[in-house]
Homo-oligomer: A and B are copies of this chain.
Amino acid sequence: MREIGIGIIGGGYMGKAHSVAMSAVGAVFNTRLRPRLEMICATTDTSAEGYRKAYGFARATSDWRHLVADPKIEAVVIASPQETHRAIAEAAFALGKPVFCEKPLGATLEDSRAMVAAAQTSGCVNMVGFNYIRTPASQFARELVVSGEIGAVTWFRGEHTEDFDADGTKPASWRNFGAANGTMGDLAPHMINAALALIGPIARLSADIGTVFANRPGAKGREVNDDIGQFMCRFGNGAMGHLSFSRVATGRKMGYAYEITGTKGAIRFDQEDQNALWLYRADDPEGLRGFRKILTGPEHPDYLPFCQGPGHGTGYQDQIIIEARDFLQAIDTKTTIWPSFHDGMEVNRVIAAAHASALAGVWVDL
């Protein structure tokens, strides 16, 4: 057991989540590396100091270069806007420091490629924060697919749908401008990452992307970005697929959901009931077949150890704690962790292909 100095860049929503996770992960998982909340960075000195006190860091700064360079910082967590990801990561890798970066990896595919290259050159541990895939249920789904429990996969349908922009009279905010902030940049990465993790590479796709509310109040003539999108695809293994994304999906709160059909079984999952995985086995006796609702528990991967039995339930914060555990473990053992920057870049590639396909109205090979 030894301490490791953690620096977190960004003190907002995700910065807080990672701060809490770093506080708790040692006790939860009895990790060998024990995070010391060394420094937090925010846009102003005042806000940084506020976050420092609130989250329990030793020091605060408004200069991320200062944080990255500090000798007591042994690992960097990037939770700042995506435009800043590349420069921070490159600086950290140049100093040989491991980096955890919130999704999406880069603001552009070019950024992501540069970040992957920098990570590889440095040999440092690198990881992207696709937290939703880290529920015990989704990790279990992955195990089931890989083990062949449901046979060869023939169909995948995934969605990430929410309704935080479903009210078209809500004034435009920064989220509504710029391709990177659109639904394809904000929500799509999560489910594309899931598709790649659960099924494998996408071979080709045909996409349709749109803007339901193009005239939000306050848009002032600026072009409002995409709030809805979908694509059909074929995976490398031939399976057919469909993914859809929306921030105007009235009634959907955390519609990160998928169904996987195989030749011997099928899986269903919906993050709105994140402690259950539905499994159908075609080799059950006829008359006894049905989708069974499996409550995740100690038998499944990544279940929190103090939740004695199944069904006690994990939540959003627990996903972040799992990420922290895996990041620390990778640093400790100098091993590759999933999803790496490379995995994050693959997600960017799919998004770029989807934009190209939607623009031209054709299928695009990847």
A291 with B288, Cβ < 8 A, contacts A23-B27, A304-B316, A309-B254 known: no
Check if A34 is an interface residue, CB within 8 A of chain B. Answer: yes
Min CB distance A32 to B, Å, is 11
Task: Report B-chain residues with C-beta under 8 Å of the C-beta of A208.
Answer: 206, 232, 234, 240
Identify the closest chain B residue to A149 (Cβ).
B288
Task: Report B-chain residues with C-beta under 8 Å of the C-beta of A266.
Answer: 249-252
For chain A residues 173-213, which have a beta carbon within 8 Å of chain B? 206, 208, 210, 212
For chain A residues 284-318, which have a beta carbon within 8 Å of chain B? 284, 286-295, 297, 299-300, 304, 306-318
The interface size bin for chain A is 35 or more
A19 near B27 (CB under 8 angstroms)? yes
A158 to B273, CA, bound (A): 21
A253 with B310, Cβ < 8 A, contacts A240-B230, A279-B288, A363-B361 known: yes
A24 near B30 (CB under 8 angstroms)? no
Check if A225 is an interface residue, CB within 8 A of chain B. Answer: no
Min CB distance A285 to B, Å, is 9
Identify the closest chain B residue to A28 (Cβ).
B20
Q: 14 other contacts beyond A249-B266, A272-B275, A278-B290, with CB at 8 A cut-off?
A: A13-B306, A20-B306, A26-B54, A28-B317, A155-B228, A155-B249, A168-B263, A231-B232, A249-B261, A250-B261, A251-B291, A254-B312, A275-B315, A286-B299
